[in-house]
Structure 1
Amino acid sequence: MTEITAIRDLLSSKPRPVGWGERRARLDEVGTHWPVAEDIQCTDIQCDGIPGEWSTAPGSDADKVLLYFHGGGYCSGSIRSHRRLVTEAGRAARMRTLAIDYRRAPEHPFPAQHEDALAAWRFLRRQGIAAEDIAVGGDSAGGNLTLALIGRLHAAGEPLPRCAWLISPWTDLTMSGATLASKDAIDPIIHKAYLEELAGAYVPAGQDRGDPLISPLFADLHGFPPLLIQVGSAEALLSDATRLAEAAGIADVPVRLEIWPHMIHAWPVWNAGLEDGRRALCAAGAFMRNAGS
């Protein structure tokens, strides 16, 4: 059995959950299948009322920070579900990490998540961390939120982070990507009907899902910092990533697109049991260290 087959078996070992509570519990369960490494130090923090968590690996530079937004379709996911991913990314980047438990839909629809992301950014800046010493990253909806935060900062003429790291980003909530159909049969996690349910919970009725803050694929990316986009070839959201890379290239943004054969949505979450997850984090760590140099 290959490693990715074992991850697929883990994901399918129980019936697909229904209801927000069950979905949140299931994502926490599969995300914590492997615990955090023993040499990682984690500390709770309140970022102006928003729960967060610092993590530090041996040798991390305390003056540089990865600000991370978890995935989960804006409706699930947590610091807990993504802790192994975030802490090992910090190790690879040799930076401290700050993971944020932003508010989730449907209890808190758009733009609550954007307000929390901006508050976390402001919190870091008030701690004396320079913008160029902050990398911002996220997977799936967290990648969406990463791009939206940078767009808001750019529109306001504020200093931007050194780079953005995007894993399997959900960039188009209008659901126009071709791979939503062509990869549906092989993606064990993401399906169009599921995304429609998530988008319906997240986006208020009557709001245009093509709004660049909701679907950053349609944003003006001119002036954005360097982007690393990592996506699996077995993902329904593959075209969300490839079209973003094209849009960034058209806007003269330094962009690197990595398409990992046979990998599934947000596969670095299971890095402890997946060599390609560890390799992806090593590549991301080098990108974050070297961005702007």
Structure 2
Amino acid sequence: MTRQVAEEDANPSGWRTTTPGAIIWILLSIIRILIGLLFSAILYIPSSLRPSKQWTHDQALKTWLMRRVFGVITDIGWMQYMSLKSGKLGRRWVIIKPASPEAYQGPLSHDVVKPQRIGATWYPEPLEEGVDGNESQSLVALHFHGGSFMWMSGRPDECGFAADLLNSRLGPGARSLWVQYRLSGDKNDPTPWPGPFQDAITSYLYLTNELHIPPHRIVVGGDSSGGTLAIGLVRYLVELGQPTPKACLLISPSVDTTFEADSRDVDRHRNQKTDYIEGRMAAWGYRVFAPPPMRLDGPYLSPSLHPFPTQTAVFVLSGGAEVILDTNIEFVERFRGVSGNKVAHWVLHDAPHDVFLAGSFVGWTKGAEEMVNAVAAFLTQL
């Protein structure tokens, strides 16, 4: 089945979401996880008993652990606090102001959710206004991190491994800007649709209008839910008749919300046993991002259902063992069916969801390196 609106009861509730209840549940869960970890460490010694026979013992154990940790996060309904303070980032941290109101038209115009200031992190160092603009030919990556619109910020303690790895393959002088877009799960300022999409436009216009980076030097990218923002940004520019980026990199992208927002569909997928994503977590993320009665089958939430022509080359990278592999394949097939589109697909066999971002946590560091090597090869062909 395909879901048209988010599940009404997807938000975590009950005693475990209260302050004392959450603490009690975390303590109990730590005990359960430690016992389960010991049992799994023994169970997974024979490769035949691992979720995938191709996985190493380390990958099987860490993926099991990641799934349990996400389960606890969902149990207690934990949301992240976001801040615009630079912390230890210094000049690498930038505050980006919204563009003029006319930049947010059509689906990005909203009576309640308005464009706001956002933060972003430069890797490895800032791009200077008026210095690195048209004079340079190095690539600039504008990246939107994953996290189900609930977590993550693009800062080094969360995304440094992936950001540095991507930069290392983009060529001499390459830099990337990782956007701390507003989250639907932000405890300080929960921001549903279209807030994150407004922030995607804000950050892109910051590069083109303030830093004067020409679109042919910009590579837009996103992993998981960030992939929704990346392809949505390209769509929006196409609809407005504006120049689009050189390429769009979609890593384990969320491209069909009608599937991902349905907890039952996700949980009965054939790759469920080899992924760390559970249906209830995915459903919760979309419940707060696109609450009913908002439809999930629109062109920005489910781009796979609405292919469009674009001059931007699109590169999709997927894990062969993740639950959204099929929707990634469908996205590629449909966008390839549009005349003039350049779309490529690369699959890391036996890998779970988004090892580009989570590779260092789930034992897929080499897999993440293979992904960015594939990105580099794709970009050299353009």
- What is the TM-score of this pair, normalised by structure 1? 0.84
Contact 1:136/1:146 (<8 A) preserved: yes
Is residue 2:99 matched to residue 1:44? no
- 2:191 match: 108
Q: What SS is found at the alignment partner of 1:175?
A: helix
1:24 Cα shift? Answer: 4.5
In structure 1, what is the equivalent of residue 149 of structure 2? 74
Which structure has the greater CA radius of gyration? 2
Deviation at 1:189, TM superposition (A): 2.2
Please say if residues 272 and 322 of structure 2, whose CA atoms lie closer than 8 Å, have aligned partners that are also in contact: no
Confirm whether residue 89 of structure 1 aligns to residue 176 of structure 2: no
Distance, in Å, in 1 between the alignment partners of 2:266 and 2:68 is 25
1:156 to 225, 228, 240: 240
Match of 2:215 among 128, 131, 146: 131
Instruction: Check the 8 A contact 1:186/1:235 in 2, yes or no.
Output: no
- What SS is found at the alignment partner of 1:182? coil
Q: Distance in 1 between matches of 2:290 and 2:381?
A: 33
1:205 CA displacement: 2.1
Tell me if 1:247 matches 2:334. yes
**CA distance in structure 2 between the partners assigned to 1:139 and 1:7 by the alignment:** 20
Shift of residue 284, structure 1, vs aligned partner:
1.1
The alignment's C-alpha RMSD in Å is 2.7
Any conservation in 2 of the 1:85–1:269 contact (CA below 8 Å)?
yes
Matched, 1:174 2:229: no
2: CA distance, partners of 1:157 / 1:262: 40
CA–CA distance in structure 1, aligned partners of residues 137 and 161 of structure 2: 19
Write the distance in 2 (CA, Å) between the matches of 1:246 and 1:234: 19
Q: Matched residues in 1 for 2:376 and 2:80: separation?
A: 28
SS in structure 1 of the partner of residue 323 of structure 2: coil
Instruction: Read off the aligned partner of 2:145 and give its amino acid letter.
Output: H
2:381, 2:192 → 1: CA distance? 33
Q: Tell me if the contact between 2:140 and 2:219 (Cα under 8 Å) persists in the aligned partners.
A: yes
* Aligned residue in 2 for 1:284: 375
The alpha-carbon distance between structure 1 residues 181 and 121, as it changes in their structure 2 partners (threshold 3 A), is same
1:267 aligns with 2:267: no
In structure 2, C-alpha distance between the alignment counterparts of 1:42 and 1:12, rounded to whole Å: 36
Is 1:183 the equivalent of 2:270?
Answer: yes
Aligned to 1:122: 205
Of 117-126 and 252-261, more deviation after overlay is shown by 252-261
Q: Structure 1 residues 24, 117: closer, same or farther in 2, change over 3 A?
A: same
Which deviates more from structure 2 when the two are superposed, residues 63-72 or residues 176-185?
176-185
Which residue identity lines up with residue 92 of structure 2 in the other structure?
T
TM-score, normalised with respect to structure 2: 0.66
Residues 1:145 and 1:243: Cα distance change in structure 2 (over 3 Å): same
How far has the Cα of 1:79 moved from its partner?
1.1
Q: Which has the higher strand share?
A: 1
Unaligned runs of 5+ in 2: 1-55, 82-89, 98-116, 126-131
Offset at residue 204 of structure 1 (A): 3.3
User: After superposition, what is the alpha-carbon deviation per residue over 1:167-186, rounded to whole angstroms, capped at 9, x for unaligned?
Assistant: 11111111179776333532
List aligned pairs for 1:225-240, cutoff 5 A.
225-240=312-327
2:4 is equivalent to residue 4 of structure 1: no
Partner of 1:64: 139
Query: How far has the Cα of 1:23 moved from its partner?
Result: 5.9
Q: CA deviation at 1:215?
A: 1.2
Q: Is the Cα–Cα contact under 8 Å of residues 65 and 97 in structure 1 kept in the other structure? A: yes
- The percent identity for this pair of structures is 21
Deviates more, 1:160-169 or 1:268-277: 268-277
Q: Could you say which residue in structure 2 is the equivalent of 1:146? A: 230
- Give 1:120's aligned amino acid: S
